[in-house]
Chains A and B, each alone.
Chain A
């Protein structure tokens, strides 16, 4: 158990809709990173939040956006969903180090 929780566990959305995924970081951790993992591949970095500010972004379009709250929990929002957005979305928390601890993920299916 890493202490990182994510909700919901599974989600089915229709193309064009919007989705919000949530993550609670491990107690004491001030950094949350989000990753997208397509089937059969390694996770791909979306962005990172450190003390409520975006602290780095991967090669994802602006329709992927996020927030971090004062308690360091975080949200990932995806607008105008596309079929290729179907994936496992992982959040990872850390305390200003390289060691990132992952939650169980949210499985998003876009139909």
Chain B
């Protein structure tokens, strides 16, 4: 089946720094979703992208839908301690009830 590869697997940054992470696939996706998961909680939807080249922001978060439709990027500006968590990209497979395929996640740690 389709697989999503996220990088980096983990990041340890200083508070106030900007963060970049990406997600790549060997297959084309028509939608990209970015979720954040805190320990012991379910994933929370951050941003949804629907069009190649689209750039969408949600506060300090900005995500882009890659032109090839095989990748997506998430940037966090001026990180704060509450940004700590695991960030997942996900893409729906329309031939299987819009089931979401998830990447392995990027674990973000922020040092105050």
Chain A contacts to B: CB under 8 angstroms: 2, 4, 31, 33, 35, 41-45, 47-48, 50, 55-59, 90, 92, 94, 97-105, 107
Question: Across the A-B interface, how many residue pairs have beta carbons closer than 8 Å?
Answer: 74
Residues of B39-55 at the interface with A, using a CB-CB cut-off of 8 Å, are 40-45, 48
Give A20 to B48 CA distance when docked, in angstroms. Answer: 32
The reply to whether B43 and A99 form a contact with Cβ atoms under 8 Å apart is no
The 5 closest A-B pairs by CB, nearest first: A56-B97, A42-B102, A102-B42, A45-B99, A55-B97
The reply to whether A48 and B97 form a contact with Cβ atoms under 8 Å apart is yes
B98 interfacial contact with A, CB 8 Å: yes
The reply to whether A33 and B99 form a contact with Cβ atoms under 8 Å apart is yes
What B residues does A56 contact at CB under 8 A?
96-99
Give A2 to B43 CA distance when docked, in angstroms. Answer: 10
Give A101 to B42 CA distance when docked, in angstroms. Answer: 9
Give A4 to B42 CA distance when docked, in angstroms. Answer: 10
Q: How far is the CB of A29 from chain B (nearest CB, A)?
A: 13
The reply to whether B104 and A42 form a contact with Cβ atoms under 8 Å apart is yes
The reply to whether B44 and A42 form a contact with Cβ atoms under 8 Å apart is no
Q: Is the interface of A mostly helix, strand, loop or mixed?
A: strand
A42-B104, A42-B105 given as contacts; is B98 within 8 A of A98 (CB)? Answer: yes
Give A104 to B88 CA distance when docked, in angstroms. Answer: 16
What A residues does B99 contact at CB under 8 A?
33, 45, 48, 56, 58
The reply to whether B98 and A102 form a contact with Cβ atoms under 8 Å apart is no
A33-B97, A41-B104 given as contacts; is B48 within 8 A of A98 (CB)? Answer: yes
What B residues does A59 contact at CB under 8 A?
1
What B residues does A100 contact at CB under 8 A?
33, 45, 98, 100
Q: Please, could you name 12 A-B residue pairs with CB atoms under 8 Å apart, sorted by A?
A: A4-B42, A33-B97, A33-B98, A41-B105, A45-B96, A58-B99, A90-B43, A92-B100, A98-B33, A98-B92, A99-B48, A101-B45
